[in-house]
Amino acid sequence: MTMITLRDSTVEDEALLREVYASTREQELAMTQWNDEQRAAFLRFQFDAQHAHYHQHYPDASYQVILNDGHPVGRLYVARKPDEIKIIDLTVLPRHRNKGIGSGLMDEILSEAKKDGKAVFIWVEQTSPAQELFKRLGFSKIEDDGYQDLLEWRPKVANSVDE
């Protein structure tokens, strides 16, 4: 049985975070005619832009590294607000996917949201296999930008009947 834990990311995690980001672009980059240097430059530029965007728009979010038995396997970025939890990014490196890591983390987030009565939101690429996970967990699509879907999960409210 493996132990999944989280720790805050630090500047020492930059290489890992860049690797995690690059793993999300592999399929897309495979379709280009770029050489390794061009791909690396693109990934550097895109990671830097995403990293700056996230920290500018979500300065109070938690930026964490996912650990599997103490070994880094991904990243989880979450912004918690009084009435919602926004999952900014949940990415597990390809070699560690389909082992229950993402679903286990989602179970924890949904338990927190249910306890606190909060909605949960996440943008997911329309072609991502993770779409199935979120559907299985009870998320619904509420917006579509042509590339990604904004998914929402809300805790079920118990019906009260006055007798």
pTM of the predicted protein model: 0.91
C-beta of residue 75 within 8 angstroms of C-beta of residue 64: yes
- Which tens digits make up the pLDDT trace of 62-86? 999 999 999 999 999 999 999 999 9
Number of H helices, E strands in the chain: 5, 7
Query: Is residue 158's pLDDT more than 80?
Result: no
| Domain limits, the chain | 4-153
Q: State the Cα–Cα distance between residues 144 and 136, nearest whole angstrom.
A: 19
- Which tens digits make up the pLDDT trace of 94-148? 999 999 999 999 999 999 999 999 999 999 999 888 999 999 999 999 999 999 9
- Which tens digits make up the pLDDT trace of 40-56? 999 999 999 999 999 99
C-beta of residue 137 within 8 angstroms of C-beta of residue 90: no
Q: State the Cα–Cα distance between residues 76 and 54, nearest whole angstrom.
A: 12
CATH 3.40.50.300 is right for the domain spanning 4-153: no
